[in-house]
Amino acid sequence: MSTVLELDRRHVWHPYTQHGDAPPPLVISRGSGAYLYDETGREIFDAISSWWVTLHGHAHPAIAAAIARQAAILEQVIFAPFTHEPASELAAALVERLPPGLTRVFFSDDGSTAVEVALKVALQYFTNQGEHRPLVAALDSAYHGDTFGAMSAGARGLFTDPFASHLFEVARLPDPSVDAPGCLAALDRLLDQRGEQVAALIVEPLLLGAGGMRMWDGATLRAMRERTKAAGVLLIADEVLTGFGRTGALFACSAAGVSPDIICLSKGLTGGFLPLGATVTTEAVFEAFRAADRRRAFFHGHSYTANPIACAAALASLALLDQRSADARDRIGHTHGERLARLARCSGVRHCRSLGTVAAFDLAGETGYLSPVGPELAAFALQRGVLLRPLGNVVYLLPPYCATTDDLDRAYNVIEAFLSRSA
């Protein structure tokens, strides 16, 4: 056993891992482009962007150089009484690219904390104006993170059961990927019956990620925007997964022609190099906190808020989201379409679907996150040099934008070989 594995075995607690039966982790020594390399030098195609964060490829030289430059200038400073160039420039760059009306950026550490900020801002927004609106609405099949507010807004189940008694009440709407008319009808009833109590509706626009890569339409999102706006309810868009081109357009809300009141960003924000979250609001939301009364301030923060090195990485990543990146995303989407059409003819494959750079399908048999077919496929693929991490019986590909058609064909060929073996 290598020294790394021995130390890991003794001291490390891995996420989403049952250490009672999990095999030893694979030691990764380096990454380059769309590939990871283990300690023997074997290459592994990263078909899931290392938990959806790696936009442009591993160890991208432009982002690495930006990090090195910033680290030699200013590595960290408290962000309460101070500001700095990378944070202010990043805030302006985000506002320039986001849907119209989103103007104020609050930095945090990751996607879950970006959601926590959004929920707290929404609730305090009304409190600051003398209104009592304690209720948040959210979607069935949603996932917003693993902190307590994010868990409350997410679907209840395996991940949240041990904490159920500690989660706050949420008005739950039907999954729009399954029943869009029913979702809108439920929203209408909620706003009619309890509208004066609802502070916000939080959604993952167009793609419910960890809930099973469930895809829904922009028309339903626009209808939600119209209804919430008319009712004076804030719309929170959780674009932690969907932001920065994953669904094709730079942001899913932009593709749908929707401007939310609050948007949550993370994952690809730094190109996958460093943790960073951002919650961006409208000027109207921000103004509800600006006052001579300090009690109306937003008393929330993180030690590493707007870390200069992370902000520098994000600026470098944003600069890479140019026309070449858009063309690469289009190519990935086209390849998904061609290979999914072929996969759809395979026995046991259900509900092939794609959105931008995301492709997904379901495998017949036991459903849910604990379905054994997911780990079986993951192990089969890893042995053949492809990193997959199915959500139970839901298989997805979500590659970095530098992935070539040959890279994607490699992943799809491994999936087809697994299906042939299982047939």
Residues classed as catalytic: 16, 143, 238, 267
CB atoms within 10 A of CB 257: 12
Per-residue burial over 387-410, b if 16 or more Cβ lie within 10 Å, else e, is bbbbbbbbbbbbbbbbbbeebbeb
CB burial of residue 296 (10 Å; 0-12, 13-18, 19+): middle
Angstrom distance (rounded) from CA 87 to CA 78: 12
CB 310 within 8 A of CB 83: no
CB 272 within 8 A of CB 221: no
What's the token pair of residue 172? 């739950």
* Cα dist from 91 to 80, 94, 110, 265, 315, whole Å: 16, 5, 16, 12, 9
Angstrom distance (rounded) from CA 215 to CA 252: 11
* Helix or strand holding residue 203 (H, E): strand 198-203
Number of residues that make up the chain? 423
- Alpha-carbon Rg for the chain, nearest whole angstrom, is 22
Angstrom distance (rounded) from CA 360 to CA 350: 10
What's the token pair of residue 217? 């339409």
DSSP state of 310: H
Beta bridge partners of 36: 31, 44
Residues 48, 160, 261, 121: is their CA dihedral positive or negative? negative
DSSP state of 392: T
Angstrom distance (rounded) from CA 69 to CA 88: 17
* Helix or strand holding residue 6 (H, E): helix 3-11
What's the token pair of residue 46? 């990263």
